Amino acid sequence: MTLTLLLDPIGSTVLAEACSAYAPGGELKLVEQLRRRYDAAVVTAAVTQASLRHRAVAKFGAEDAARMYFTPDGLEQATRSTVGTHRAARIAATLPGASVVDLGCGIGGDLISAARAGLRVTGVERDPETAAAARANLAALGLAGEVVVGDAEAQDVTQYEVVFADPARRADGRRVFDHNAYSPPWSFISELLERTACVKVAPGIPHDAVPAGVEAEWVSDAGEVKEAALWSGKLYGGTARRATLLPGGATVAAAPEAVEGPVGRYIYEPDGAVVRAGLVTAVAEAVGGWLLDLRIAYVTADALVATPLASVYEVIEELPYREKALRAWVRAQGIGTLEIKKRGVDVDPAVLRKRLAPKGAASATLIVTRIGRDAVAYSCRRIPA
pLDDT digits (tens, 9 = 90+) for 134-143: 999 999 999 9
Report the b/e string of 114-136 with b at 16+ CB within 10 A: bbbbebbbbbbbbbebbbbbbbb
pLDDT tens-digit readout, 62-94: 999 999 999 999 999 899 999 999 999 999 999
**Cβ distance 97 to 121 under 8 Å?**
no
Give the model's confidence band at 3: pLDDT under 50 very low, under 70 low, under 90 confident, else very high.
confident
Q: How confident is the model at residue 6 (pLDDT cuts 50, 70, 90)?
A: very high
For residue 2, the model assigns a pLDDT of 79
Residue 176's pLDDT is 59
User: Mean pLDDT across the stretch 109-120?
Assistant: 98
pLDDT for residue 104: 93
Q: What is the pLDDT of residues 9-67, one digit of tens each?
A: 999 999 999 999 999 999 999 999 999 999 999 999 999 999 999 999 999 999 999 99
- This prediction has a pTM of 0.91
Dist. CA 107–CA 109, nearest whole Å: 6
Question: How many C-beta neighbours within 10 Å does residue 48 have?
Answer: 19
Rounded CA-CA distance 194/179 in Å is 17
Which CATH superfamily hosts domain 76-246?
Vaccinia Virus protein VP39 (3.40.50.150)
The most confident of 140-149, 159-168, 199-208, by mean pLDDT = 140-149
User: Span 333-339, mean pLDDT?
Assistant: 96
- Percent residues over pLDDT 90 in the chain: 91
pLDDT of amino acid 105:
95
Among residues 10, 16, 20, 45, the alpha carbon closest in space to that of 31 is found at 45
- pLDDT(358) > 90: yes
Reported as type and span, the H/E element at residue 326 is helix 323-333
Dihedral sign of CA atoms 116, 118, 122, 125 in order: negative
pLDDT at 182 over 70: yes
pLDDT the model gives residue 268: 98
Residue 169: its pLDDT value, please?
65
Buried b (16+ CB within 10 A) or exposed e, 243-280: bbbbeeebbbbebeebeeeebbebbbbbbbbbbbbbbb
Are 136 and 113 in contact, with CB atoms under 8 Å apart?
no
The Cα 133–Cα 53 span in angstroms is 13
What pairing do the DSSP bridges indicate for beta strands 215-221 and 224-232? antiparallel
